């Protein structure tokens, strides 16, 4: 396989970090755009063999420098935040500016990771991720869009009051007895790696990504068995969801109205036979991460 330089944004975060760890296995050189090269996460990237470039998606000159000589780009712009919460406009500006810079730099391929869509719901054309998707398709870049659902690592903590395990209890908007799709970060990285390895196969495709769909009660039965910790799930009610913000309240409303993530897990498993279930993720280190996270908080 030809060795290529891939610029990875978000490399000190969850999805970008998983991709940065995965791409060298295919012989790619990883170039990571990071805001703080002195951080522990950035130093770990250097130790793994990545090239770390100081920059920020809000600094156009630093983005241009980072793209020089890159074959591809993995795009995961940080969510923007304003006085009213998440700022989709800021997120979209960052993503579109990166795509434009990639085109100007002669980058040949981009993989953008967004968010899983709900069945029966028209795409929010004002959302940041949706605007980035449209811009990628219009840019002329060979592109692939990944739409992952809820991460299995969310149980380690999200910091926003959902999924986090507090005093042995995890909270979210889902009823306890209805299947909810999940995906492992490592599998998002696998699909990104496949797209870079075989652009003819993946260019122009949008993949809704999930690897399992346990009910929350089933998920916590698996987690209890794997960790030995007494943990359980309790759904948020309407007032609790609203207190966490309009996006959480809207997700609960859509779910209760029957809308669902709709990744075709069996079809994905044909493309990627190693697609992880929650049980697999727990056995491959997830349980250890949970024990460490929960026993030190």
Residue 94 confidence (pLDDT)? 94
Q: Superfamily for 1-148?
A: NAD(P)-binding Rossmann-like Domain (3.40.50.720)
**Interval 14-24 mean pLDDT:** 96
Q: Is 127 helix (H, G, I), strand (E, B) or coil?
A: coil
User: 43 CB contacts (<8 Å, ≥6 apart)?
Assistant: none
Minimal CA–CA distance to 156: which of 255, 37, 277, 297?
Answer: 297
Rounded Cα distance, 219 and 29, in Å: 37
Biggest alpha carbon distance in the chain?
Answer: 54
Torsion from C-alpha of 123, 125, 131, 136, nearest 10 degrees: 60
Q: What is the CATH number of domain 152-183+210-260+276-297?
A: 3.90.25
Q: What is the pTM of this model?
A: 0.94
pLDDT digits (tens, 9 = 90+) for 207-236: 999 999 999 999 999 999 999 999 999 999
Phi and psi, residue 63, nearest 5°: -65, -45
37 vs 41: CA distance, rounded Å: 8
Tell me the per-residue pLDDT of 163-218, one tens digit each, with 9 for 90 and over.
989 999 999 999 999 999 999 999 999 999 999 999 999 999 999 999 999 999 99
User: Which pLDDT does position 125 carry in this prediction?
Assistant: 55
pLDDT tens for 97-111 read 999 999 999 999 999
Segment 136-149, tens digit of pLDDT: 999 999 999 999 99
Joined tokens for residue 49: 């063999």
**130 class by beta-carbon count within 10 Å (0-12 exposed, 13-18 middle, 19+ buried):** middle
**pLDDT at residue 82 in the model:** 53
In 3D space, the residue among 76, 153, 122, 116 whose CA is nearest the CA of residue 264 turns out to be 116
Structural domain boundaries of the chain? Answer: 1-148, 152-183+210-260+276-297
pLDDT band at 123 (very low <50, low <70, confident <90, very high): low
């Amino acid at each position: 396989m030809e060795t290529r330089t891939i610029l990875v944004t978000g490399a000190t975060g969850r999805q970008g970090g998983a991709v940065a760890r995965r791409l060298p296995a295919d012989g790619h050189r990883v170039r990571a755009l990071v805001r703080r090269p002195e951080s522990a996460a950035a130093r770990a990237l250097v130790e793994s063999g990545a090239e770390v470039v100081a920059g920020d998606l809000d600094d156009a000159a630093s983005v241009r420098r980072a793209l020089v000589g890159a074959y591809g780009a993995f795009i995961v712009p940080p969510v923007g935040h304003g006085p009213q919460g998440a700022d989709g406009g800021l997120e979209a500006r960052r993503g579109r500016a990166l795509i434009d810079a990639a085109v100007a730099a002669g980058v040949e391929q981009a993989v953008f990771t967004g968010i899983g869509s709900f069945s029966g719901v028209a795409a929010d054309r004002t959302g940041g991720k949706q605007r980035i998707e449209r811009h990628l398709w219009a840019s002329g870049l060979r592109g692939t869009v990944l739409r992952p659902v809820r991460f299995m690592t969310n149980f380690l903590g999200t910091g926003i009051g959902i999924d986090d395990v507090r005093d042995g209890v995890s909270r979210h908007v889902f009823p306890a007895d209805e299947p909810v799709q999940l995906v492992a970060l490592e599998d998002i990285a696998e699909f990104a790696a496949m797209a870079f390895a075989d652009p003819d196969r993946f260019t122009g495709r949008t993949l809704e990504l999930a690897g399992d769909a346990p009910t929350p009660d089933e998920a916590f039965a698996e987690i209890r068995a794997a960790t030995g910790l007494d943990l359980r799930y309790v759904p948020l009610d309407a007032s609790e969801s609203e207190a966490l913000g309009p996006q959480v309240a809207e997700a609960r409303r859509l779910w209760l109205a029957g809308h669902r993530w709709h990744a075709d897990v069996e079809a994905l498993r044909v493309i990627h036979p190693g697609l992880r279930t929650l049980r697999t993720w727990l056995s491959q280190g997830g349980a250890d991460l949970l024990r460490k996270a929960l026993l030190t908080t």
